[in-house]
Structure 1
Amino acid sequence: MADRLYLRHSTDKQTDARQRHALAPLLAAGAPVYEDPATSTRQLSLDRAGFTRLLNEAAVGDTIRIADAARLFRSVADILALRPVLIRRGLHLRVESGLLSGIDLASDDPGTKMMVNVLAAALEFQRDMISENTREGVAAAEASGKTLGRPAALDPDQAAKVVEAFGEGTAVKALARQHQVDPKTIRRVLDAAGARELPEQLDVLPDLAAEQQQEPDPVITLDLPGLLADGDETVRTALASGRTIRRGQCHSLRITAPLELHRAALQQAAALAADAAGPAERKAHRVYAARLTAVGRP
C-alpha cells in the first residue's frame, strides 16, 4: 500500500506552494506526485490527465492524499462520479488539512457518504459565489470606465505615429521592429484607424489592365513543323522569313515572330488537328501547340 499525492491549481498564475507545504512530510518520503496544473474544477476529476494517470498506476489499498478537498472535487456531480470508482478499485482518499483530515472520503458507509455530499455541496456553492462576485466586479469596473484585460502594447501617441508612418510608406514589419511588438499588433492598430482600407474611389489606383494592354506583344522563336507551314498559303507567306531546318525525312521552320503571329499560324492550321487529317499532320499540330503553350497560352 502506497501513498499517491495529487496537486491541482486552476490557472497558470497560481502555484501549488500551499499544497506542497501541507504534503511536505509525504513529499520528503518520496511519495509519487500527480499534477493537473492550470485545470479548472469545472472539469471533472475523472476527465483530468494527471488524475487519470494516478488511477491507472494505483494498486488496491493505495491512498490518494490531497492538501484540501477542493483540489480534487468542487461539485456534488464530481464526487458522486468519483466515489464509486475509488470504492470499486479499493483506493482510499484522505485530506491532509482541515476538519476532514484523517477521514477516508472513499469509505463506503452512509455517514461518510452523507458528509462528503454535504462538503461537495458547500464547495460548489463557494465556487459559484466566487464566479458571481467576479462577474459583478467586472460589470462594476466596466460601468466606471475602466479598461479590462491586458494593457495595450502601444499607447495612443505611439499608435498615432504608427498610422502616420504607415501612410508615408513604412512597412508593417519595419514598424513592428521599431516598436518591438508583433506585426499583428501593428495591423490591429492600423485596422482600428482604418489605415489599411481600400480607397473608396478605385479609379485613383493605377490602371494595371491598361498598362498591360499597352505592353508590346513579345517576340519569340519557335520551330514550326513544315506540315503546318505547307498546309496554308497565308501561313506560308507570313512565315517566309523563317529558316528551314531539315530533320530526318521532314523539316521545320525556325520562326522569330511576335507571339500573336504564332497563334495565328496555329489557328490557320486547325484543320490538321481534325480526325480527317493524317497521323503525321495531327502530330505536327500537337507538337506546335505544345511549344506555343510552353511560352504563352494560345
Structure 2
Amino acid sequence: MAAEKTGDVRTAYLDGRSIAALARDHGVSRDAIRTAVADLMPDYNAIAQEDAPAPELPVTLDMPGKVADFLRASDLEPAEQAALDQGVTVRGGQGYTLRITAVPGVHRQLLARCQPLDGGQGVPAERNARRE
C-alpha cells in the first residue's frame, strides 16, 4: 500500500470502517489493510513482539554413526537424548548415518559434547584388485 494512503486508512479504521470495506475502497487486499493498521488492533502487543526472540525451527542434520555411538555412551541432557532416540538410521556404505531433527540449540549442545574420534579404529582403504 502506498505510504500516502496509509494515513487515510488508519483514520478511517479508527472511525469504525471495517477492514473489508477499506480494502474494497482502496483496491488492496485485506492483509495490506491489516498491516497498515496492525498497531491499532486490540490484540496488538508491540512490546511483546519486539522483545520476543524468534522461535527456532527444527533442522534435520545427518550424524555419522561413530559420533552417534559416542554420544549414546555419554551422559546427555533429556532433550539431547530424545533427539538421538528419535533419529532415523540411514544405511549408506559400510557405516551408518543417523538423521536427527531438532532445534539448532540441541545440535549445538551435541556438537559441543563431541570429541574428535581417533583414526586408529578404522581399517585403511586398500585396492580390491591389482592389475599387472
The higher radius of gyration belongs to: 1
Q: Normalization by structure 2: what TM-score? A: 0.44
Q: Normalization by structure 1: what TM-score? A: 0.21
